[in-house]
Structures are given as structure tokens and as C-alpha cells.
Amino acid sequence: MTINEIQDQIIADFNLFDDWMDKYALLIDLGNSLEPLDEKHKIPQNIIEGCQSRVWLTAELVDGKIIFKGESDAILVKGIVALLLQVLSGQTPDDIVNTELYFIEKIGLKEHLSPTRSNGLLAMVKQMKMYALVFKAKFEKGI
């Protein structure tokens, strides 16, 4: 699926619920079922430090696609990490660089990406795009 198809699918899933409690319950489920990041990857260079909660992120290029893995110490943040991985992991650097992430706003979780929350999520999105840029540049240079 393309990035936007996945985003639209997530929006449709969340739109099944009117009540924010149900949306949050879904996010908690997503957080709880996210495959934990191997402890060996929870090292300082993979950490995206927020004031409130911490996020870890790793990226590798496999067959021209970026495989992201991530985790957080807060479940709600972990839920959003799971969604970001669903959307961006397994996509090409080109697609990731050019994509506009609109699903978080559309499912009503925008406040978690606000800089005032300082939970590491905004920095994570930036970091994912940064990885994509680096992989893209390396690819174009033939490294």
C-alpha cells in the first residue's frame, strides 16, 4: 500500500469511534501490541529525548526500503509510534521525504504532536524524514 492509502485506512479505523475514550483505547491497544524494541537498540544514539517521555527509533535500508523500529516508555506515545511505523516503515526514502503526514490531525490526536507536549513525537517525525533524506542522498551518490 502507498503511504496515503495506509493513512486513509488508519483514519477510517479511528472514524469508527465517536468517543475520544474509544479512540484512546484503540491507541493504548496499538501501543501495547507494538513489538518491543530490542534492549540492545535502546542506546543513547537512538533516543529521541522529550521532556515528558522518551522515544527510541532505529532505521535500516533493506531492498531500497526503510525499515523503522521504535518504542516509547509511555503507552499513548507508543501507540502513535506504532501508527507512524505502520505508515512509514517499509516505504522508499523518496516516498517518505515527499509525504505529508495528515492522519494524526485527522484522527484527532494532533495535540500529541504539539511542541508543548515535548513527548519526543515531533522530533521522531523529523528524525524519520532525516533518515529518509540521508538514505536518499546515499542512494543517489551510489554509496
Active-site residue numbers? 51
Determine, following the binding rule CB under 8 A, whether residue 37 of this chain makes contact with other proteins. Answer: no
Cell readout for 8 is 486513509
Cell readout for 84 is 507512524
Determine, following the binding rule CB under 8 A, whether residue 76 of this chain makes contact with other proteins. Answer: yes
Cα dihedral 82, 86, 87, 92, rounded to 10, equals: 120
Determine, following the binding rule CB under 8 A, whether residue 52 of this chain makes contact with other proteins. Answer: yes
For residues 72 and 50, the answer to whether their CB atoms sit within 8 Å is: no
Q: Output 1 or 51, the one with its CB closest to other proteins.
A: 51
Residue (of 75, 84, 132) closest to 107 by Cα position: 84
For residues 72 and 53, the answer to whether their CB atoms sit within 8 Å is: yes
Q: Output 2 or 52, the one with its CB closest to other proteins.
A: 52
Q: Output 2 or 114, the one with its CB closest to other proteins.
A: 114
Task: Lay out the site mask for other proteins across 90-129 (x = CB under 8 A, - = otherwise).
Answer: ---------------------xx----x-x----------
Burial of 66 from C-beta contacts in 10 A (0-12 / 13-18 / 19+): buried
Q: Output 46 or 53, the one with its CB closest to other proteins.
A: 53
Residue 98 Cβ vs other proteins, minimum distance, rounded to whole Å: 31
Determine, following the binding rule CB under 8 A, whether residue 24 of this chain makes contact with other proteins. Answer: yes
Q: Which amino acid, one-letter code, is at 30?
A: L
